[in-house]
């Protein structure tokens, strides 16, 4: 009976693939065009308002943020900049399953240009802004390995002029400069003890300088624009009603079949939608548990961390009025769907940003589509999970050929690296007269 069912399914699949025969692959109706156009980079809305960072769209802040982003001295060993794991040449990722900085991180470094539109940052959304996101790795001993006071002191010494010009206050810098011991509420050991011995005024000064550092980095990140990928060019041509000959020069028949699957039978567009191919929501797709001894609770933990996070829209260092912090005020804190759920990543440049999933569990896109085609339910450990994780996907029943077409389509989402865009370039290389253009992590 089961076999008959499978044969029947196979026949059905064969019929439906005949439905869009090879010669019709390039034929699109007006309604098709309207539908696909919603995925074009040109449909990207303006950058979302950032009430918690009044410098978000400040040019000077972006310039300062660019210097900070590529500054390797902002680390415990003088070797780690943000660009270490967010390398522009790799679309601001590092090509590793788990990032290597001073130590090894738990999760994979996500790309930045696709993330600046979402309300939450990190795989589990444990911060509500890019500026707060940028601060967290500074104090992580596996990443930059700094403490909060040392980071603030670097601002006071290395960036004093820019800081005063932009944020208009030297008092905080003076207060910070006078501190001698490494101190942070988030770094266990001496630093934590030292932090508790600072006066409230000193702590506040450090927090303000530290937060401004994040705000400048955020202003920089908002400058990262993606040039149109082949897929976007294809949509342009479709909108101009270009002929098949023209369309063929931009996307192959297999890639278009893959796009048709992506929007339909493979169900990818359910969550990977809009110009950035993400709904910015949290889902559990049952990717293999990277470490069964210490399961990753994803959004469940992220929400928990958010409510304790010192740097959110609601904090004293935020520029927002309380009523502007709506996402925090109405944060969803309960629901079994939070357990083991991770943020839908953007699929922009996905073919150039392997490996995949929150800890790089899948090395290739082939592995990824195989998982979606025949998913296994999420790992469940009664001892570690607060409740059985939900599972948000169902098998796709795609053939090997269809899976290959899907992967081919994903390749069309890669933007060319913008060689003339200064925001994608390491300012320190520029200063050294290096004309190779894009930043290198091995400088």
Partner 1 sequence: MKHIAQVFLLLTLMPGVATAEDPAQAPAPETEISNLSMQVASRLLTEAQELEQNSVNVLRNASHIRKQVNEMRVVERSLKDKKQKDSFGQSIDMLNSQLELWQKQGADLRESSSKLKNYALALIEEGFIRQWSDWVKLTGPMRLQTSHNQMLAHNTQIRSVHPSMLNRMTATPETVKPDSMSLEIPAMTGQQAPADLDIRTFQASRDLNFFAHIEPLTEGSPEPLTPLNEIHKWNFLLSDMNGEPITDAKIEFSGHMPGHVHGLPTQPRITAESAPGVYKVDGVKFQMAGWWVIQFDVTAQGKSDTIVFNLVL
Task: Give the residues lining the site for partner 1 (CB under 8 A).
Answer: 9, 20, 24, 27-32, 35-36, 38, 43-45, 260, 263-267, 269-271, 273-274, 279, 281, 283-284, 326-327, 329-337, 377, 388, 390-397
The nearest distance, CB 283 to partner 1, in angstroms, is: 7
Helix (H) / strand (E) element for 282: namely strand 282-283
Smaller CB separation from partner 1, 105 or 278: 278
- Residue 100 phi, psi dihedral angles, 5° rounding: -115, 115
Alpha-carbon separation of residue 153 from 160, 199, 316 (angstroms)? 10, 16, 20
Do 180 and 156 touch, CB atoms closer than 8 A? no
- Cis amide leading into 355 (omega within 30): yes
Q: What is the DSSP letter of 257?
A: H
Is residue 246 within 8 A of residue 252, CB to CB? The reply is no
Instruction: Please give the backbone phi and psi of residue 362, each rounded to the nearest 5 degrees, phi first.
Output: -110, 125
Question: CA–CA separation, 131 vs 312, rounded Å?
Answer: 9
How many alpha carbons lie under 13 Å from residue 110 in its C-beta half-sphere? Answer: 24
- Closest approach of partner 1 to the CB of residue 22, in Å: 13
Farthest CA pair distance, the chain: 79
């Amino acid at each position: 009976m089961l076999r008959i069912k499978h044969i029947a399914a196979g026949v059905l699949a064969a019929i439906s693939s005949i439905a869009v025969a090879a010669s019709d692959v390039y034929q699109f109706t007006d309604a098709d065009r309207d539908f696909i156009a919603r995925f074009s980079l040109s449909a990207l809305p303006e950058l979302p308002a950032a009430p918690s960072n009044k410098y978000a769209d400040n040019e000077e802040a972006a310039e300062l943020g660019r210097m900070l982003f590529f500054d390797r001295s902002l680390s415990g060993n003088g070797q780690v900049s943000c660009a270490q794991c967010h390398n522009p040449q790799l679309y601001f990722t590092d090509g590793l399953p788990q990032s290597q900085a001073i130590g090894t991180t738990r999760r994979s470094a996500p790309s930045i240009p696709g993330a600046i539109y979402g309300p939450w940052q990190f795989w589990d959304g444990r911060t509500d802004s890019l500026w707060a996101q940028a601060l967290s790795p500074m104090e992580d001993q596996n990443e930059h390995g700094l403490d909060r006071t040392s980071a603030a002191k670097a601002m006071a010494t290395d960036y004093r002029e820019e800081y005063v010009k932009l944020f208009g206050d030297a008092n905080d810098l003076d207060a910070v400069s006078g501190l001698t011991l490494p101190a942070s509420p988030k770094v266990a050991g001496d630093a934590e003890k030292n932090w508790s011995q600072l006066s409230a005024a000193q702590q506040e000064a450090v927090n303000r300088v530290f937060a401004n550092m994040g705000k400048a980095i955020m202003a920089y990140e908002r400058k990262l624009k993606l040039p149109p990928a082949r897929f976007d060019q294809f949509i342009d041509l479709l909108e101009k009603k270009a002929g098949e000959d023209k369309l063929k020069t931009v996307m192959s028949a297999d890639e278009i079949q893959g796009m048709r699957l992506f929007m339909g039978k493979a169900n990818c567009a359910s969550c990977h939608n809009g110009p950035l191919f993400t709904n910015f929501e949290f889902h559990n797709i049952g990717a293999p548990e990277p470490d069964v001894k210490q399961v990753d609770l994803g959004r469940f933990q992220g929400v928990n961390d958010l409510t304790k996070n010192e740097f959110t829209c609601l904090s004293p260092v935020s520029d927002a009025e309380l009523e502007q912090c709506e996402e925090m005020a109405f944060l969803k804190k309960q629901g079994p769907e939070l357990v083991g759920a991770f943020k839908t990543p953007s699929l922009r440049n996905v073919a150039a940003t392997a490996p995949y999933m929150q800890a790089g569990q899948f090395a290739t896109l082939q592995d990824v589509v195989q998982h979606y085609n025949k998913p296994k339910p999420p790992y469940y450990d009664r001892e570690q999970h607060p409740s059985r994780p939900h599972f948000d996907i169902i098998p796709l029943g795609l053939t090997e050929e269809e899976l290959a077409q899907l992967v081919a389509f994903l390749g069309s989402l890669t933007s060319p690296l913008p060689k003339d865009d200064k925001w994608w370039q390491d300012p320190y290389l520029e200063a050294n007269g290096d004309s190779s253009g894009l930043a290198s992590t091995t400088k």
